Amino acid sequence: MRPWLERLGPDRSLDHLNFLSKELDLQTASGQPVRFVPPAKADAYYEVHLFETGRVQTRPENLHDLFNALAWLAFPKTKALINALHAADIAREGARRGRRRDLLTLLDEGGVIVQSDDAELFALVGGFRWKELFWERRAQVRSRMRLHVLGHATLEQALKPWPGIACKALFVSTAQSPDAAAHAWLAALEPDANPRALPPLPIFGYPGWLPGSEHPGFYDDRRYFRERQDRAAPVPPPRPPDAAR
């Protein structure tokens, strides 16, 4: 997202976001032009309204919503398909929220697209072998694994990083752009998919991301670097009320 944030510069207004959206010809999967608009009356089916109108309700000067807008600019295919799948599931399930929607929400709010062609690194993530990944293979991680953070809630948390920030990881190769690869993965998603389709990744363990990560003992803290049988991510500290969407 960094190139889009740089293009946005100090003017983070809705007008400027919409200028970039028009330049990119940003559209929902239904073909509606995406426009960032001030919040309106609460809609029980936010995703359906967005799918039908292209209007992304965005609170001015709110970092959570700003990162959501940047995600639309940086990952337009993926964001459009996440929205379309939400809308389809709402039409299919009604008030009952299915597990695929849980997966989509976790990816949208806290997803990371992990781009690499190194099967060994992917296996270490899948096996929850965090110290081996981030410490013993740290040079390999830096040179052969690139993390593209899609989740706008994760990006907001990263402004004040804390041990325990985790993402849902989607593995893709380097043959495609992260956006195109994530879109292809979502397009093949079965209706009964659930969050376990994506393993957790404690991104705060990436070498050099947090103070202390230059010491091997950093990766021995089992509160955060959990073993495979414990799938629950640490609970983040409370955020101010206006940060929640």
Q: In tens digits, what is the pLDDT along the chain, a chain of 245 residues?
A: 999 999 999 999 999 999 999 999 999 999 999 999 999 876 668 999 999 999 999 999 999 999 999 999 999 999 999 999 999 999 988 778 899 999 999 999 999 999 999 999 999 999 999 999 999 999 999 999 999 999 999 999 999 988 889 999 999 999 999 999 999 999 999 999 999 999 999 999 999 888 889 999 999 999 889 887 644 444 333 333 333 33
Q: What is the pLDDT of residue 97?
A: 86
| Domain spans of the chain, in order of start | 1-97, 99-245
What single-letter amino acid sits at 171?
F
Q: What is the pLDDT of residue 95?
A: 74
Q: What is the pLDDT of residue 44?
A: 66
C-alpha span between 222 and 119 (Å, rounded): 25
* Residue 36: partners with Cβ closer than 8 Å, 6 or more residues away: 14, 17, 18, 21, 56, 58, 69
117 secondary structure, DSSP code: S
What are the tokens at 50? 């967005």
C-alpha span between 121 and 128 (Å, rounded): 11
Q: Is the pTM of this model over 0.95?
A: no
Q: What is the pLDDT of residue 229?
A: 63
